[in-house]
Every structure is written in structure tokens, then in C-alpha cells.
Structure 1
Amino acid sequence: MTDTPFLKLAHLCERLAQTRKRKELSETLVNFLKELKIEEIPPAVNLMLAKAAGEPLEIKMATLLEVVQEMVRADAETFRAAFASASDFGDAIKILWEKGGLVSSGEKLTIKEVFAAFQEMAEISGPGAREKKKAKLLQLFRPATPLEAKYLAKNIVGERRHGVDEGMILEALARVFRLDIGLLRRAYLLAADIGEVAKIALTEGAPGLRNLRMQLFRPLKPMLAQMAPDVDRVFDLLKVPFALEFKLDGARIQVHKQGPVCRLFSRSLTDVTASLPDIVEDLRSGALPEEAILDGEVIAITREGRPLPFQTLGRRLGRVHRIEQLIKAVPAKLFVFDILYADGKPLIDLPYRERWQVLENTRLSLVPRIIPQNRQEGKAFFDKAIAEGFEGLVAKVLSSPYMPGARGKAWFKIKKVISLDLVIIAADWGYGRRRNWLSNYHLAARDERTGELFQVGKTYKGFTDQEFAEMTRKLLDLKIGERPGTVLVEPRLVVEVLFSDIQKSPRYRGGYALRFARIAQLREDKNPSEIDSLQTIARLYREQQRPAQPPPLS
């Protein structure tokens, strides 16, 4: 049996994009997986989900566009026309390939070859990395047909428009290998890598999945919280005992410790240890178990210990040069709020109240916390958090397990002002003083069912002149097309957006618009896959339509 061509996977993705019913999507997916060699399933799964090598490629848009230009030899007008008529970035690449008359050289790309090439690119770093990656990209694109070029590009930019997600992949694997779906979901929570789960499912079956354990230095996806408008609403929603913790405006950090070795991972599972050596030093004096995995948040603080906005901390994240100067300029502190593993024992299935008891036996800085007995206590604690410079509160059900990657109904965040994490999909050139800057930003949320982005507003508010200039540079690096007065960009920049309320909007396809939106800050610690969903916006709209409850009679 010969290796499966990459073109076959590209045709599958085209069919999936045209299918709307979940049952039909699942059937198509199952039938495709059954035709593959066993060893082809993990790479196929990652490529189908536009995850390239299963890890960041660190390829800039400018590099990719240079490769495309060298391949198609198109003028600027042809580029503009392709992106103006395309439904997404990958589609624009396909159009350019067709206009350039590019067809396969006869050499067949295979699924395994494409995935291996992306893995090689992910491992390239250091001096000359850009040119080496560019050479690898040219080598990969040269034999590609227009449709293959489309899906190569989609993998590089992380773009997918079909309705298949990790959940559906797990369901398909369950059917193909006759495995329990609950077992597969649990394995994915622990591995945080859909390709790895597929590999274990096909090589070891159910026993292998059951043997999958939490592993030090293999980070888990963090558990997430839903939004609640105020403390009263949390009391309405949660009919069981819960705790309230201060909500921090910092960077989510997962700590992995084994003896003297300590590594820090961001919410996107990237190793950021080198950026935060002072945090590592503090952890060594925290009376931790010999082996541990912790969940917490790093914030920037003043000399007096008051919290500073995330933007201040952003000056340190990802930086590995001049660390000593940065530590002095931007002091940081880790607050811990959960423990997932201790001395060989996974703790994620324990109730939150028991996990907290384990934390109390350490000398770590724990996030301020209470168990409110009534609404008045909860509101007073919220006021205390705001007065001390924190964002608000997080409510956590005491009996809840830790669910990696889940945004369930056990955690709720309450902020003074409701905000959403959205992605910038385009920007308009400004007028007057802002004429040289891209300064009016088109904001989009993601449909959690299909992955499609829907615009929900625009804003030019929130940035200083210096920040407008920096944003213009960043956005032009992500440019994929333009129309009069507007630059279309690859959706990579995530921003936290404040707004007054939500209204129904016939102007936007998603049906909703944010009123009086302004950008609070750029969230470089977050991936576009983590932005808020259109369904969340719809729920918040329904919440604001809910009539206010009258105060209780005295």
C-alpha cells in the first residue's frame, strides 16, 4: 500500500467545508480515516485541524508571502485582486497558483512528507532561521497543485473553515477503533495533543489510553472560566458552595517541578522559563512537594506590591535578553491558585477544596480567597479586590474537579467592566493626526461550532500614539490583502475589548455588535483559538435583556 497523497487530504477538507450537518461530517471523516495507513492517522489529524507540525512553526507572514511571490511571480494588482475575491487566506493562495499557471511538477506530496517537513521547520531556530525556513517552504510548495498550496498555507497560518474540531476527531477515532469516547476525551485532556492521542489509540488501543498519565514537563491546557456580569448572578447560577478568588490581570502560568528542575509554561503551552528566572527562584523557596504541577498567574507589581496591568508584564514575556535589567524595571510575582499533581499523584480528579488544602501546606503566595456565606460577603470581597487594584473575582465550585482545557460551569469570572478577547481581522487607515497609522480595528469573535470568524464591531479607542505606531507595524507584517482605506490582516493579534453593552446588528453576519467598544490591551499571551465565541456574545446579550431583580423586602 503506497503512502496517501496530501492532495487526498486537501480534497477531504474541501468536502468538509461544504458539509453543514454534524452527522455527515462525522461519516466523511470516519470513512477517510479508515482508508489511511495506521501511521498516517496522527499526521493527517493534525494537518486536517491546520496544526501543521502540532507545534508553533514561528513563520512570519512576510516570509510566507515572499515564498508565494517567488512561486507565482505576480504583480501587486494581481495579489490585491486575489485577496479581495478570496474567502480566506488559503483560498487567495489557490487563486494565485491558478493565475500563475502553476501545476504539480509530477512529484507527489504525501501526508507523511508534509507533516515531517513542518516538523523540521518547527525545530529550526537561531541565526539564519528565517532563510532556512524559507528554503524549506519553497521546497514544500514547488510540487504543490493549487489545492495543495491552499491547504499548505492554511496549516502555516492556522486557518480552518470546516466544521471539524478536536471533539469530532475524537468521536471519529472512537468509531474507527471501537473505543469509549469518554476514554478518548480523558486522554486528550492529559496529552493536550490530538495527534498523540490518535497514535496511542491506533498502536495501543484502550489499554494504552488508560495508561496515559499526567507527565511532568508535558503541559496541560488550563481550565477556563465563563463570564458572569456580577456577584448576584453567580449566586443565582451556583446552587452549591463555592469560593471567591481575586482575579489577576496577568499571564497564566503552569509550573512543572521535579527536584531542583523547574519550568514554566504559558497558557498556549509555550516554555517561558527563560523569561522569568526570578519566579523560578521564588518557587525554590516555596516548600513544594518534590514533584509538582501548579496553576497560577504571574502579574507585574509596583515596588509597594500593588498589581499593574498586563501590558506592563508584556515587556518581559518571551524576552530572553537583558533579563536582569527587565527584572529590575518590571518586578513580577506569581500567585498560585491550584495544584494538579504532587509526588507522583495526579490531583485533577480531587475536589477543588481538597486541592486547595494541599496548597495551604506550602509557603507559596496563594491568591486571596474566601468562601462567602452570603451575597453581602461576596460583594464586599469584590469591592476589596477592585480597591486593591485587581480585575475582579473568580468563583469556583468547591466540589469541582480540574478539567484541563474546559470552560464549563464550575468557574465564573466577574469583572468590574465586562470584556471580551477578540481578534483583529482588518484595520482602517486613520484621518488627520492618525492618517499614517492603522488605527480603526475590525474585531471578530469565533463561531465555536464552525471555527469561522464573525465581525462584531470596530474601534479606534484605547491606544496611545506610540501604541498606534507599533500596532501599524505589527498589522502590516500580517497583511494579506487590502481594499480602499482598509488593510486585511491574518487574524493573529488578540486584544481585550471593553464595551458598554451588546446590541442586535443587521450589519454584521454574526448578528451582534458591541457598543462603545475600546481596546484595553493587546494580549500577546493568547492565541486566536482562545478568543471568545459568538455564542458567548449571544449569551451575554440574553443576560443583559434579563430584567433586574427587585431588592428583597426588609
Structure 2
Amino acid sequence: MLLAELVSTADAVASTRSRKAKVEALAGLLRRIAEESPREVGTAVAMLVGKPRQGRVGVGWRGLSRTRGEAPPAAQPSITVEGFDALLDRLAATSGAGSEAVRTGLLAAFLRRATEREQRFIVGVLLGELRTGALEGVLVDALASAGGWPAALVRRAAMLSGDLGETARIALMGTEEDLRGVGLLVGRPVLPMLAASAATPAEALAATGEASVEFKLDGARIQVHRSGDDVRVFTRSLADVTHRVPEVVHVVRALPVREAILDGETLTLDEGGAPRPFQETMSRFGAERARDAVLHPWFFDVLHVDGRDLLDEPLAVRRAELARVAPGLIVPGEVTADPDTAERISREALAAGHEGVVVKAIGSLYSAGRRGSSWIKVKPVATYDLVVLAAEWGSGRRQGWLSNLHLGAYDPSGEFGEPGSLVMVGKTFKGLTDELLRWQTERFLDIEARRDGHTVFVEPTTVVEIAIDGVQRSSRYPGGVALRFARVKRYREDKDPAAADTIQSLRSLLT
């Protein structure tokens, strides 16, 4: 299939705010691919969401922008989906001395064969920045429509497979039995369940009813899979970091179980057993080689034990099973329906150096990849994970550094734009140390997308934790809400934009 067909559909999807129209356009394309080029289904789907199977291929914005500027577009489309996929394979395989020049040559030759619209699409795929609205949720609905399946069935298969391309292949060319057969597989990560936010433990408990009120550890989210002596550790974004955390592997290998999928956090502790600052944990967590700091795993959920899937079991059952297979490694907490007890647990968590608590409905099922009201996080200082959209050059003492951040909240439903878009909610330059200023200046220039006067717009891939004193109504921003007294707490390199807090969560703070 010609790449131009994907590009035309992506443009059509981007040009409408109607979810129904997006689904219909994508479903039509998916049917054509299944009929004309079935082996390209997975590849095409991955390209549409800007997540090719090859991942990052060593191409940055600066080099790509320069190369595209020197490559005049072709008059007529001729590139195929298969040809683009082959280019990505070659770029990913290029390494070593002189690799940058080789990549540049490959890209320049390929871009000269692409039309202007195709060039824009190729750049978007290479940078993981397609703004077509063809995000996973919309595409899952399109797959259901194209295959004639219930959306819930396809959605579950996508969540449990962790591979939208493979889900597409099954939905378009498989049977209902094939779709229902997609389940948890030890060694294949699933998207983690996410939590909403509340101001107090009592407020959270009012929403959940009887709940497990658990310490919210200030660590890095991990999902650990064990099959016999083989242990693999994945991050929140499903990256395999097993080689970085040998101490976690050692601990899990000693558990009294043959097969398991565990959900939890890992963090470094000081000599007295208290958690070290988050930055120290992330520094150790991101190291390619072992360091002096030791990571300790704590678990708050279990999804599979020795052949038994637990996703559809209530939290009460999963916690009991977790206590059996991982004694001594469970995140502290209590089951209660009493607001006073929940407040006490929150105080104990804070006194121990942790962030607060997470209140989880005791009857809730594990909803992989979903954010709902069954899990609610509570922190004493209101903090929200937002995405950096741009940064302004500083003045005075901050001259020469990128300082004032433009912040966006995630809009999963498309209430204020396209589904999965980011809605600007404010700016801040407060809380930035000299070290952070240096770091973010270097990082943002590396992911620069464009400039407008003294503002550098960046690829929306960086998540930052922002403390606020509340929000206020605002006609300045499209979401109708602005942050009050926002200040930077830290950058969250363990999170991607889809894990950021939502514009709906911020709007719920309006009184």
C-alpha cells in the first residue's frame, strides 16, 4: 500500500473534531489494508499512532529538520508503507563511528522521494509526534468497527497484549475466539492501572467506599514478571530495565512462587530505612550499570500467580494473594471505611517520608491502562504531573537559560481538542534551581520543534511535577482553567505524556 493513503487518512482525522468521523475514516483505511496488504496491518497501525515497531532510531529534531530542509519534495507519491518500514529498519541498525552521516544520507535520499505531505508524516513518525487524533483509543474503536467486534472486546485485547499492531492483526483477520484468547502472558507487560486525585483521604474514601488505604511511595513504578528463574522488570512505559535493577531481580527470584506478575514501586532507602529523595532513586534507576545505592522493591498488587490470572478478581482477593507470595514486600496500608482511620494512615505515611496515600476501592478490578475512580491518590500538597509545551528564555540572572515553562494537561476524551491532546493550563518559572535550569535548557534545545520570538516550543514529551495552591477560572486558556501559584517540584522522567494528569482533574478543583 502507498504511504500516501495513510497520510491522507491521517490528515482527514486531524481535520475533524468528531470522534465518529475519525473512527469511520480509520476503519475504512484498516479494511482496505486488510484486503490489499494484510502483512502491513501491524506496521501501518504503529505508524498511525507514531510508535513504529523499531522505536527510536537515533534521529533527532535538529538533524531531521536540516535534512528535510535540503530535500525538495517529490511531485507524485511513490513510497510504500513497506518501504518506509524498511528505512526504519536500516536507521535502527546503523551505529558506530560515522553512523550519523549514514543516517543523514539515508534520510535525505528517502525524503527526496516523498511528497510534502508525506515528508510531514515521516517526520512525525520519526519524532513520535503525530498530532492526528489517531491515538490508541480512537484506533481501538476503529479496529472494532472495521472488524465488526464489540469495542470492549478489542479494547481488552489491546490492553493485555501491549501491542496495538498485533491486536489489529487479530481484530481484522482473526476470530472472536482469537480476540478472547488474548490474555495475560508472563513476560509481556501490560499497561499499569492509573489513579485519579483527591484533596483529602476522607474525600477519596467517600468516592470509593470501603478501601485499602496504602502509603504512596515516592519511587519509580515497576511491573515485575517471573517465570521460573527468569525475572524481567518493566517501567511505567513498559520499557525493559531488567539489566539495571539486579537487586530487584534477586529479591523476586527468592519469592515462593514459580510464575507471577507483580505491580509496585522501587526506591532507594537511607541507613535508617527512610526513602531517599526521588531524584536519587531515578538516578539509580536510570543507570546502565550498578551503583552504590540499592533499590528496594515494594508491591501493592499482583496480576497473575502460577497459572491463575487475577485481573478480574477484586482487590481484596489480589491483596490476600500478594500477602501470600510476597510477605514483607507489601506497601503498608489498611482496609477501612472510616475517614478518621484513612487520615491517620495518611499522617503515618507522611511521617515516614512518603508522599501521601492511595485509596483503592476494595472491590475494584485491575483496569490495565485506565484511569478511573477506583484508585485515588492523595497528597498533602496538591501536585499534578503536567507536560512541558514550551519554555521562554530567561532574563537577568537567568539570561541564557530556558526558564518560564508552558504547561499542558492531558485531555484523553477530546473535550477541549483532539482526543489525547494537551491543553495549556499555565506557566511557571518558580522552583527551578540552577541545576534544573541547566538541565532543562540542554534538554529542550535538543527536542526543539520551532521558535516564536523568545519562546522555544518543544516536542511534548517531558513530564514535570507541579505543586499548586489551586486553580481558577480563566478565559485565557482553552480548558477554562489556570493554575494558581504553580512551582516546579521535579521532572518525572519515568512518565510519558499519556500518564500526565488530565484537564478534567484540574477542572474538578473549580468551586
TM range (shorter): over 0.9
Q: What is aligned with 1:22? A: 19
Following superposition, the deviation at residue 296 of structure 1 comes to: 0.5
Q: 1:158 aligns with which of 117, 128, 133?
A: 128
- Kindly provide the amino acid, as one letter, of the partner of residue 488 in structure 2: I
Shift of 1:269: 0.4
Mapped to 1, the partners of 2:228 and 2:2 lie a distance apart of 46
2:333 to 358, 364, 369: 369
Deviation at 1:159, TM superposition (A): 2.1
Q: How far does residue 487 in structure 1 lie from its aligned partner after superposition?
A: 1.7
Deviation at 1:494, TM superposition (A): 1.0
Q: CA deviation at 1:300?
A: 2.0
Structure-1 residue corresponding to 2:43:
43
**Letter of the structure 2 residue corresponding to residue 341 of structure 1:** H
Moved more, 228-237 or 112-121: 112-121
What is the CA–CA distance in structure 1 between the aligned matches of 2:100 and 2:509, rounded to whole Å?
43
**Equivalent residues, number:** 502
After the TM superposition, which residues 67-466 of structure 1 pair with which residues of structure 2 at under 5 Å, given as runs?
A: 67-73=64-70, 102-104=72-74, 108-122=78-92, 130=100, 133-239=103-209, 241-285=210-254, 287-321=255-289, 323=290, 326=291, 328=292, 330-362=293-325, 363-448=327-412, 449=414, 450=418, 451-466=420-435
Change (3 A) 1:317 1:123: farther
Question: For 2:285, what is the secondary structure of its paired residue?
Answer: coil
Residue type matched to 1:316 in 2?
R
How far did 1:198 drift? 0.6
Q: CA separation of 1:60/1:473 partners in 2, compared to 1, >3 Å: closer, same or farther?
A: farther
CA distance in 2, matches of 1:128, 1:415: 49
Answer yes or no: is the 8 Å Cα contact 2:467–2:488 preserved in 1: yes
CA distance in 1, matches of 2:198, 2:349: 16
Please tell me whether the aligned partners of residues 389 and 406 of structure 2 are also in contact (alpha carbons under 8 angstroms): yes
CA distance in 2 between partners of 1:124 and 1:537 (Å): 44
**Residues 132 and 233 of structure 1, relative CA distance in 2, 3 Å threshold:** farther
Paired with 1:334 and 1:128, the residues of 2 have a C-alpha distance of 41
Question: Which residue pairs with 1:92 in the alignment?
Answer: none
Contact 1:430 1:440 in 2 (8 A): yes
Aligned twin of 1:13: 10
Q: Is the 8 A contact 1:420 1:532 kept in 2?
A: yes
Asked whether the 8 Å contact 1:291–1:343 carries over to 2, the reply is yes
Deviations 1:59-113 (A, max 9, x none): 353xx4323323424xxxxxxxxxxxxxxxxxxxxxxx7xxxx232767111232
CA RMSD across the alignment: 2.0
Deviation at 1:510, TM superposition (A): 2.6
Instruction: Give the secondary-structure state (helix, strand or coil) at the position aligned to 1:254.
Output: strand
**Residues 64 and 123, structure 2, Cα contact 8 Å, conserved in 1:** no
Distance 1:260 1:67, change over 3 A: same
Contact 1:336–1:364, Cα closer than 8 Å, also in 2: no
Q: Whole-Å Cα distance in 1 between the matches of residues 5 and 174 of structure 2?
A: 27
Label 1:160 to 1:103 Cα distance change in 2 as closer, same or farther (>3 A). Answer: closer
SS of the residue 1:315 aligns to = helix
Q: Is the 8 A contact 1:223 1:405 kept in 2?
A: yes
Q: What TM-score do the two structures reach when normalised by structure 2? A: 0.93
Write out per-residue CA displacement over residues 343-364 of structure 1, whole angstroms, 9 at most, x where no aligned residue.
1221111111111111111335
Residue 56 of structure 2 is matched in structure 1 by: 57
Question: What whole-Å deviation, never above 9, does each CA across 1:18-45 have from its counterpart, x for those lacking one?
Answer: 1122222222222222222233332222
The whole-number CA distance in structure 2 between the counterparts of 1:427 and 1:188 is: 35
Q: What is the CA-CA distance between 1:221 and the residue it aligns to?
A: 0.4
* Residue in 2 that maps onto 1:77: none
Partner amino acid, structure 2, of 1:176: A
Q: 1:441 to 1:341 in 2, by over 3 A?
A: same
The answer to which of 529-538 and 128-137 deviates more is 128-137
Does structure 2 conserve the Cα–Cα contact (< 8 Å) formed by 1:179 and 1:205?
A: no
* Contact preservation (8 Å) 1:353, 1:399: yes
Uncovered stretches (5+) of structure 1, i.e. residues with no partner: 74-96, 546-554
Offset at residue 126 of structure 1 (A)? 6.6
Q: Report the Cα distance in structure 2 between the residues aligned to 1:129 and 1:208, rounded to whole angstroms.
A: 42
Q: Deviations along 1:40-64, whole A, 9 cap, x unmatched?
A: 332222212222x145315353xx4
CA distance in 1, matches of 2:205, 2:166: 40
Deviates more, 1:308-317 or 1:495-504: 308-317
Quickly say closer, same or farther: Cα 1:168–1:425, change in 2 above 3 A: closer
Q: For 2:477 and 2:150, locate their aligned partners in 1 and report how far apart those are by CA, in whole Å.
A: 41
Taking only the aligned residue pairs, the percentage that are identical comes to 36
How big is the shift at 1:262? 0.9
* 2:73–2:111 contact (8 Å) kept in structure 1: no
Q: CA deviation at 1:529?
A: 2.5
Distance 1:219 1:49 in 2: 19
Q: Could you tell me how far apart the structure 2 residues matched to 1:215 and 1:123 are?
A: 29
For 1:250 and 1:140, the matched residues in 2 are separated by 43
Q: 1:456 Cα deviation (Å)? A: 1.1
Whether the 8 Å CA contact 1:494–1:528 is kept in 2: the answer is: yes
Match of 1:498 in 2: 467
The AA in structure 1 aligned to 2:263 is D
SS in 1 for 2:183: coil
Partner of 1:537: 506
User: Secondary structure of 2:160's match?
Assistant: helix
Return the letter of the residue paired with 2:67. E
Contact kept, 8 Å, 2:382 with 2:467, in 1: the verdict is yes
- Per the alignment, residue 66 of structure 1 pairs with 63
Cα–Cα, structure 1 residues 132 and 221, in superposed 2: closer, same or farther, change >3 Å?
farther
- 8 Å contact kept, 1:59–1:156: no
